[in-house]
Amino acid sequence: MRLTLEQIDIITANVHHYFGHGAKVWLFGSRLKDNRRGGDVDLYVEAMSQALMQELRCKITLSDALDIPVDLIVRPPDNADPIARLAKNEGLRL
């Protein structure tokens, strides 16, 4: 995984700030592969609260704090979209 402990703390703190302490977050995509370089941070968040403005604010805050582009997907816990399955099955819960 190509994230530092500090970056993981920034991600989880901001996700909990914007979506509540019950929110769960997974890292998926290219940042999981140690042999890759660059790339954005792909995050899947499972949260009861998912207002568009919260999502946008969280995405912007994370991109600025990490100085890396962030793709943020927020869905309710019972979501069964293909992206939800991919992120939760192949990703790493932070």
Token digits of residue 15: 């996700």
The count of domains in the chain is 1
CA distance 32 to 85: 16
What is the Cα gyration radius of the chain? 12
* More confident: 51 or 34: 51
Question: For position 9, which CATH number holds?
Answer: 3.30.460.10
Q: What is the pLDDT of residue 94?
A: 94
Task: Tell me: pLDDT of 73 over 90.
Answer: yes
pTM of the model: 0.90
Domain limits at 16?
5-93
List of residues 6+ apart from 13 with CB closer than 8 A = none
If you average pLDDT over every residue of the chain, what do you get? 90
pLDDT value of position 33: 72
Beta strands in the chain (DSSP E): 24-28, 41-46, 70-75, 92-93
Asked if the model's pLDDT at residue 24 lies above 70, the reply is yes
The whole-angstrom separation of Cα 82 and Cα 86 is 6
- Cα-based torsion angle of the residue sequence 65, 59, 9, 93 in order, rounded to the nearest 10 degrees: -150
